[in-house]
Structure 1
């Protein structure tokens, strides 16, 4: 199925480096804690860690605009453009 997408979309979705990096950082943080007093404490730690990990992410993936245009063409019925709501107007 991957090669069914146009090259502009494949360039954006093929890599998992960002996901692997996040998982490695979360594993390191969780391992250093050992145990948690509650599920809520674990959730808070993960939320704070994700907030810190993503704090310096500033730019979108390379060629993201081109890929978004391709998604809009391929999945027009499921695609919402920025500024448009997905709710249908009633009459």
Structure 2
């Protein structure tokens, strides 16, 4: 039983590591987008049409929201996957 739990944990760790790498890539994109936004002058910006500005702002907001939702999904996946493992380990008699 302990070997199965160890194997499951190893597979979960690998998949969650891949998820973390994906999130890291998303984080870098979001950080770059946020830096671009911070470069916008506070007064009298000349962007041309306001519609383009609104579209880009919406795109940045969607990207940030997607990144934060992905972080929440990763947290939920970790919790969902570890709960049965922790429960199984607690139920085992003093095998340590």
Bin the TM-score by the shorter chain. 0.3 to 0.5
Taking structure 2 as the reference length, the TM-score comes to: 0.39
Larger radius of gyration: 2
Which structure carries more helix by proportion? 2
Taking structure 1 as the reference length, the TM-score comes to: 0.40
